[in-house]
Amino acid sequence: MDVEDHTDVVMHDGGILASTELDNADTSPDLSIKTEQNTEARASLAPALRGQGAKREMLDPREDLPRPPKFKHLPYVTAQTGLVYDVRMRFHVETYPAESDIHPEDPRRIHVIFEAFVNAGLAWRKGAEGPPDQYMGRIDARKVTKDEVCLVHTERHWDWIQSLASKSDEELEDELQHPGQYKQMDSVYLSPNTPFCAALSAGGAIEACRALLLGKVKNVFAVIRPPGHHAEREDVKGFCFYDNVSIAAKVCQQEFEHCRKVLVLDWDVHHGNGIQQAHYNDPNVLYISLHVHNDGTFYPELSYRDNRLPYGDRLHCGEGAGLGYNVNIPWRRHGMGDADYIYAFQQIVMPIASEFNPDLVIIAAGFDAAEGDMLGGCFVTPAGYAHMTHMLMSLAQGRVAVCLEGGYNLDSIARSACAVGRTLMGEPPDRLQGLEPVNSAVDDIKKVVRQQSKFWPCLHPKDVSARGPPQGERMHDVVRKWQATTLWDEYEMSPLFVHRESLSKSFDGQVLATSNYMDARPLLVILHDPPEMLASPDPRTGRVELHNTWLTDIVKTYVDWAAKEGFAVIDVNLPKHVTAIDDDQEHEEIDRVEHRTKEATELLSYLWDNYIELNEATHIFLMGTNTGHGAIVNFIKANEARAQRLSKVISFVEDVPLQSCKSATSDTLDGWYYGHSLVFVSDEHAFWSSDFARKIRKRFGRIFKSSAETMSEMLAAHKESVTDALLDETEDWQLTRPASPDEQQQLETELGQKSLPPLGNSALSALGHSNGNLASPGARKARFGMREESDVAEVIATIRRGQKQHWATAALDSVLSGNAAHN
Ligand SMILES: [Zn+2]
């Protein structure tokens, strides 16, 4: 299909009739309503448009009107699929089109879809094989009436759009720049034909739905433009003038008794702010929108009229009687594909839609999430659209009206619309490939489930915070308290004072240190995430039972190791969320990584200034997990000279950005960092699929690709590498260092027994911990009655090295010979 041949797209009424399309197509815009079958009210709503628009007499009479179903017993399946397409909707064009910069809302959009339908044998045009009733049945579009528009928009809105018809090009340009009370029109262009095309587009949507509810067709595709879902009550916006879909829904609800409940499913890549607004307090229109949101930074970010907050987030659920009937499924990033959309359908759309049980389904069908669309940046394939359509066809006895919204890659929209058209006509959807949703999509979807579970009985698990304020403590505060108690019991670690501007439970005991942190011995500073909790929540209530919850605190094993080796330890807990002093007990998201990293960097600088800089540590090691990693690298970059005191920095990176240590002022910092770092990066980390991974630069440090995925697994898997590295660095000090409490306990036990158990690491660990304080050499000597400190050091070194039992026993014997037994 070569759409570029059709140069008529920016012509006004007269010229278009010479186009290739009209020469050989039957696209007669006969304006009488073929679906007419009802009341006088109907007739008054739909005046014919004699004499306006294209030269109708030049067009062939219609031959492919919708036919009734072939079989009475199978009324739905044997009826035709309807098609609304009117070439005159292409008259809405830019006043001053620039050839180099074609506006994305290109009039050719509807043309390429119609062409694709014809070429695929879905739509009839003169010359096509077989009788017209094998194809989609054509339904005429007509102009929407003022009364119909005012079901959704204000009279002012209608009047303003009508006024455009009589304006000159200059006046239209002016209108765009200075539209009365608002500052500037948001993403629209205007032409004298705009009122006509917009009216035809909305009228087309109405007639599509009416044909469906009148039983003329089994389902219907309205190939209409300009689109509608961004148009608000009194604002044109985002290429949209009238909210086509909402107007059609309201008209049908008024006209048909058997059309009480309408589902509007909006898969346009943008949020349909207009549709949301039109039905926000209406329990009879369920609006479900899947769209890219990017935390509110993707169009439509906010209303230019009253600067409302971004309204496409999942927390906008409707209000009043309509509460729960607005379902936003916002993607936090671009790049979603079939797997993500299908997953959303399976987890949210279909359960809710089935429970709602609509009488009519309208798809606000933008194809800008299609692969190839430049605005959307997503990857939904034609088969993906077909499957979504197919699922929706199970609702409302198959009464599905597809109304075109956005979609700006001509090739993509043609292929996608074709796949939807085939499905409507009864063709089974194509196979899908690779249906594993990406992690962020799973997160996004599960959060919507949690939110909507408040309103929809079918959704589980229920949001526990919806049960009202639980009046409890947040577990991360409880766990930190427990950690502080344990570390005090075992190593007498106590909190270091940290000056704060604000207060929070989460800061209590955030920094714990062994009492010897100022001494001349190695100091290990660990900046870590809170321990991991693994739980299998109750599948229905979401409640977590304590006996089915496991706490994994691998960081603690590093503290254990360091204390045993006689290191001083400063343990810094970096909460993922800081509990507010007046905690509202609601569900809280994890604070943003950037924010947490900044806070952690400030804390590390504070600790350095107040507790690390002035001490006598023989070696300083910094170890960080996730945000701790970012804090350490930031600290080094900001304090190049002071960082030279560091013996080694160790990072574990699971799900935060990998930081490079490149200085703007020094050429040697990255080299230094490479020589002094160990950086373990999770197997699942995005770094490995980035360009950097091909040739890793020094500035990322000494990187190791971990075979583990989670932080706990990584910390466990690489503990030996880390401890070996720390022992290497401190080898000289190890030989002369004072005994650690464990080793003193070991000695004490050894000396109190006649026959000695085997020595070595296993024996040491089997003996357990002790708080016996023998730290001062004098006290220890007196207690064991020893002559020389060096004797004791030798014994300890022997035990520490785990040398042969008989040698160690002999050495102990020799040292202790002549001394009174301890007991
Ligand atoms: Zn869109």
pLDDT tens string 743-777: 677 777 766 654 444 443 333 333 333 333 333 33
Which CATH code of 3.90.1150.10, 3.40.50.300, 3.40.800.20, 3.40.980.10 fits the domain covering 3-429? 3.40.800.20
> Which contiguous run of DSSP H or E holds residue 82?
strand 81-85
Helix axes 719-729, 554-564, angle to 10 degrees: 30
Q: Show Cβ contacts of residue 58 under 8 Å, excluding neighbours closer than 6 positions.
A: 17, 22
> Which contiguous run of DSSP H or E holds residue 735?
helix 731-736
269 Cα: distance to centroid of ligand 1 (angstroms): 5
Q: Is residue 260's pLDDT more than 70?
A: yes
Rounded distance between C-alpha atoms, residue 726 and residue 558, angstroms: 11
Predicted local distance difference test score (pLDDT) of residue 103:
77
* Residue range 106-123: mean pLDDT, rounded: 92
Q: Show Cβ contacts of residue 100 under 8 Å, excluding neighbours closer than 6 positions.
A: none
Percentage above 70 pLDDT, the chain: 79
Rounded distance between C-alpha atoms, residue 456 and residue 466, angstroms: 13
Rounded distance between C-alpha atoms, residue 692 and residue 694, angstroms: 5
* Average model confidence (pLDDT) across the chain: 82
Residue 154 φ/ψ, nearest 5 degrees? -85, 165
356 Cα: distance to centroid of ligand 1 (angstroms): 26
How many helices (DSSP H) and strands (DSSP E) are in the chain? Answer: 29, 18
* DSSP per position, 259-299: ---EEEEE-SSS--HHHHHHTTT-TTEEEEEEEE-GGGTSS
* Residue range 361-386: mean pLDDT, rounded: 95
Rounded distance between C-alpha atoms, residue 766 and residue 760, angstroms: 10
268 Cα: distance to centroid of ligand 1 (angstroms): 5
Predicted local distance difference test score (pLDDT) of residue 289:
98
Cα distances from 5 to residues 19, 94, 112, in angstroms, run: 10, 19, 11
Handedness of CA 136, 138, 144, 148 (dihedral sign): negative
374 Cα: distance to centroid of ligand 1 (angstroms): 11
pLDDT tens string 441-497: 999 999 999 999 999 999 998 887 766 666 778 888 888 899 999 999 999 999 999
375 Cα: distance to centroid of ligand 1 (angstroms): 8
291 Cα: distance to centroid of ligand 1 (angstroms): 9
Total residues found in the chain within this entry: 823
- Stretch among 34-38, 124-128, 655-659, 736-740 having the lowest mean pLDDT: 34-38
399 Cα: distance to centroid of ligand 1 (angstroms): 24
Predicted local distance difference test score (pLDDT) of residue 35:
41
- CB-based burial, 203-213: b 16+ in 10 Å, e otherwise: bbbbbbbbbbb
Q: Is residue 780's pLDDT more than 90?
A: no
Domain with CATH 3.40.50 in the chain: 475-583+593-732
- Stretch among 265-274, 376-385, 531-540 having the lowest mean pLDDT: 531-540
552 Cα: distance to centroid of ligand 1 (angstroms): 45
Q: Is residue 814's pLDDT more than 50?
A: no
Q: Is residue 742's pLDDT more than 80?
A: no
Give, as one character, the DSSP assignment of residue 496.
P
Looking up tokens 């080793």 gives 743
SS3 at position 573: strand
813 Cα: distance to centroid of ligand 1 (angstroms): 85
Q: Which residues pair with 292 in a beta bridge?
A: 331
Q: 732 burial class (0-12, 13-18, 19+ CB within 10 angstroms)? A: exposed
Q: Is residue 2's pLDDT more than 70?
A: no
Looking up tokens 């009148």 gives 214
HSE-up of 739 (CA within 13 Å, CB side)? Answer: 33
pLDDT tens string 272-302: 999 999 999 999 999 999 999 988 888 887 6
366 Cα: distance to centroid of ligand 1 (angstroms): 6
Rounded distance between C-alpha atoms, residue 338 and residue 445, angstroms: 14
Please give the angle made by the CA atoms of 51, 54 and 55, to the nearest 5 degrees: 70
pLDDT tens string 564-605: 999 999 999 999 888 887 777 777 778 889 999 999 999 999
pLDDT tens string 146-176: 999 999 999 999 999 999 888 888 888 777 7
* Residue ranges with CB less than 5 Å from ion ligand 1: 268, 270, 366, 368, 406
* Residue range 509-537: mean pLDDT, rounded: 92
pLDDT tens string 26-59: 333 333 334 444 333 333 333 333 333 333 333 3
* Residue range 111-119: mean pLDDT, rounded: 94
Rounded distance between C-alpha atoms, residue 791 and residue 796, angstroms: 9
294 Cα: distance to centroid of ligand 1 (angstroms): 15
**Which CATH class, in words, describes the domain spanning 475-583+593-732?**
alpha beta
pLDDT tens string 413-444: 999 999 999 999 999 999 999 899 999 999 99
Handedness of CA 253, 257, 259, 260 (dihedral sign): positive
- Segment of 24-33, 171-180, 314-323 carrying the highest mean pLDDT: 314-323
Predicted local distance difference test score (pLDDT) of residue 632:
97
Q: Is residue 145's pLDDT more than 90?
A: yes
Predicted local distance difference test score (pLDDT) of residue 48:
34
Strands (E) in 314-371, as ranges, are 326-331, 360-365
238 Cα: distance to centroid of ligand 1 (angstroms): 8
CB 375 within 8 A of CB 104: yes
Predicted local distance difference test score (pLDDT) of residue 180:
54
Please list the active-site residues: 230
Helix axes 741-751, 554-564, angle to 10 degrees: 60
Domain with CATH 3.40.800.20 in the chain: 3-429
Rounded distance between C-alpha atoms, residue 657 and residue 279, angstroms: 41
pLDDT tens string 621-641: 999 999 999 999 999 999 998
Predicted local distance difference test score (pLDDT) of residue 178:
57
Predicted local distance difference test score (pLDDT) of residue 741:
64
Cα distances from 51 to residues 13, 57, 497, in angstroms, run: 12, 10, 84
Strands (E) in 538-617, as ranges, are 549-552, 568-573
pLDDT tens string 683-725: 989 889 888 888 878 899 999 999 998 999 999 999 999 999 9
